[in-house]
Amino acid sequence: MKANGIIEIEKGLELNNPTLKIKSVQYEQFDNRVVVECYFNEEGSNFKHSRSYEFINDTEKDLTYSDILSFVNSHNILKAFK
């Protein structure tokens, strides 16, 4: 997935035309906590950044790929990547 322009990945860290790869998804069934670990690469650079984002699976159903995509598409930073 790729974003165009300068994207602030976290406070004080901006990347130009970054790409996003989801490295892993961990699901804690007891509390419905989901951790999505992402890798960010800046275009034209060897710089890579890893960051994790958490959300709660409140659908009361098993976690699906659609749930993860829904989280990514609604997150204020991650939704910039298509």
What digits encode the pLDDT tens for the residues 25-75? Answer: 998 888 888 899 999 999 988 988 999 999 888 877 778 888 888 888 888
Look at residue 38 in the predicted model and tell me its pLDDT: 93
Structural domain contains residue 26 = yes
Query: What CA–CA distance (Å, rounded) separates 14 from 34?
Result: 25
Whether residue 28 is contained in a domain is answered as: yes
Residue 37: per-residue pLDDT: 94
Counted domains in the chain: 1
SS3 of 70, please? helix
DSSP 8-state class, residue 80: G
Three-state SS at 4? coil
31 falls within a domain = yes
Burial of 63: CB neighbours in 10 Å, binned 0-12, 13-18, 19+? middle
1 occurs within a structural domain: no
Provide the whole-model pTM.
0.79
- Which residues constitute the domain of residue 44? 6-77
Tokens of 50: 């890893």
Give the per-residue pLDDT at 51: 92
